Structure 1
């Protein structure tokens, strides 16, 4: 959702570099899925630069962007949080994980059976796919992604969940009025937060048995 192909490419490269650092700094193997999230975000923006260059449409880049944005993220984020969460928080994370699985399955089915197209709208790209019960799917998406972060039991991840919630609202408002999107800067900020988290486990989580 950056304002040009070049901006998406540059921002995507920067976020990808942060993702490499996050993975390198991760201290526990079970932190790796969440630490690798900036790699996914960076690749997502790089793919969108190809959508810009194709002037939207329904080509392979548009489909790849939609797969990462729709079914992949609501599955990746809650499972990554579950892997990294302290033992005491895992039971309550069952709700966003199950919601994410169901939401991801429905979105994957929609992408497999219905076309997705991209359109240049002012300074942003708009994506269109026919989703049944779209409000319910959006709610499930937010529960899976933001909800899992807020319930993680890690104060930095919970703070990131609040940041994501606020940033998503701002990005949605700016996209509606076709202003320059804040998504590039927002993805970078989220990636920096994950960089700090990956290198310094939250002391509020305490020590685990056997560590």
Structure 2
């Protein structure tokens, strides 16, 4: 996936359909941030198709540049906040302080990354079958580590065993993608976004509700993770 504009469009439409199914099966207000994730992933992929077309000369340069900006705004400004918020919303009240720390960290990371995007310059180039995004980041390596910590950390400290397990898998997936191709990490992650979207939708569709409207698993309230 993410190997061409056509594949990005297909990925966006499929993930979007999964996201609509997830939203349709929201049982409580606390599940809404989680259900929103697949829709955000879908928009992200559709926007990247616009980046492809701009780089290939099929769209006006201004349109392609706007698509680059929106794509990075979602990756850098939205996801590091939305992911820990979605996980924390489903945690027992007594444990939300732990995930709250990752929301604060994600907010800090988002501000720093978006400052770099707004300040510029940003550049996107086609490298084979992926797009490489180049942003002039202040201490980019450290910000990358903090980004992964913010998005995976909330999963790893969750009160729910299956969420912590997904956090481990999620972290491993990020490390593998970075090892395979660090320059294309932002673009290639859509494979994992699709897998995660299906997992979220399956949880919201099939997890049995409890009397209070939440979800239960083996006698405990359940949440579903992100990538």
Whether TM exceeds 0.5 here: the answer is yes
Q: CA–CA distance in 1 between the matches of 2:144 and 2:135?
A: 13
The correspondence of residues 10-159 of structure 1 with structure 2, limited to 5 A, is: 10-55=10-55, 59-159=65-165
| Shift in alpha-carbon separation, 1:177–1:28, aligned structure 2, 3 A | closer
Shift of 1:131: 0.4
Alignment deviations for residues 108-129 of structure 1 (CA, whole Å, 9 cap, x no partner) = 2111212211100111110000
What residue is the counterpart of 1:168 in the other structure?
Answer: 174
Mapped contact 2:22–2:201 kept (Cα < 8 A): yes
| Shift in alpha-carbon separation, 1:123–1:78, aligned structure 2, 3 A | same
Shift of 1:145: 0.5
- Structure 1 regions of 5+ residues with no counterpart? none
| Shift in alpha-carbon separation, 1:16–1:155, aligned structure 2, 3 A | farther
Pairing 1:194–2:210 present: no
Q: Secondary structure at the match of 1:82?
A: helix
Shift of 1:176: 4.1
Mapped contact 2:123–2:134 kept (Cα < 8 A): yes
More deviation in 33-42 or 108-117?
Answer: 108-117
| Shift in alpha-carbon separation, 1:184–1:135, aligned structure 2, 3 A | closer
Query: How many residues get paired?
Result: 207
How high is the TM-score relative to the length of structure 2? Answer: 0.82
Shift of 1:204: 5.4
| Shift in alpha-carbon separation, 1:87–1:22, aligned structure 2, 3 A | same
Q: CA–CA distance in 2 between the matches of 1:90 and 1:98?
A: 12
Q: Secondary structure at the match of 1:59?
A: helix
Q: Secondary structure at the match of 1:90?
A: helix
- Structure 2 regions of 5+ residues with no counterpart? 208-214, 222-227
Shift of 1:141: 0.6
Q: Secondary structure at the match of 2:97?
A: coil
- 4+ residue segments displaced more than 4 Å: none
Mapped contact 1:78–1:148 kept (Cα < 8 A): yes
